[in-house]
Amino acid sequence: MDDRPSDPEALERYIERNVQELARTVDEIADRTNPKNVARRGADRLKEEAGQVAKAVGAMIGAPADADDPERGGIDKRVVLAGAAAVTVAALVLWSRRRRRR
């Protein structure tokens, strides 16, 4: 069951491979837990979700063919995006307050 080599040179190579693998693993863990990277991933996820919310709202509104012309009954896309941005900001504020209380 022991897969370590018995030859001293082969054992050194085996140890060096394991050291390099452990170093890569530690680097990967450090990268994943870096606060800047965690924040970036969170922001990316929020942007993606805000885009999905904007699409869902647009679908629920059932934008007519002249959706860019508010005078013809369409809803200006800027209004929908502004609403999605406001919801996102509110969610971020609430989330940050909740995290500070812990």
Q: State how far the alpha carbon of 88 is from the alpha carbons of 19, 58, 64, in Å.
A: 44, 16, 26
| 8 Å CB contact between 54 and 80 | yes
Task: Choose the weakest-confidence range: 6-15, 50-59, 67-76, 91-100.
Answer: 67-76
pTM score of the predicted model = 0.44
- State what percent of residues in the chain have pLDDT above 90: 25
Q: CA-to-CA distance for 42 and 96, rounded, in angstroms?
A: 12
Check residue 7 and report its DSSP letter.
S
Band the pLDDT of 1: cuts 50, 70, 90.
Answer: very low
Residue 68: is its pLDDT beyond 80? no
Report the mean per-residue pLDDT for the chain.
79
Q: What is the mean pLDDT of residues 69-73?
A: 54
Task: Please write the tens of the pLDDT for every residue from 27-50.
Answer: 999 999 998 988 888 888 888 888
The per-residue pLDDT for 91 is 84
Kindly tell me the burial class for residue 84, based on how many C-beta atoms sit within 10 Å of its own C-beta (0-12, 13-18, 19 or more): buried
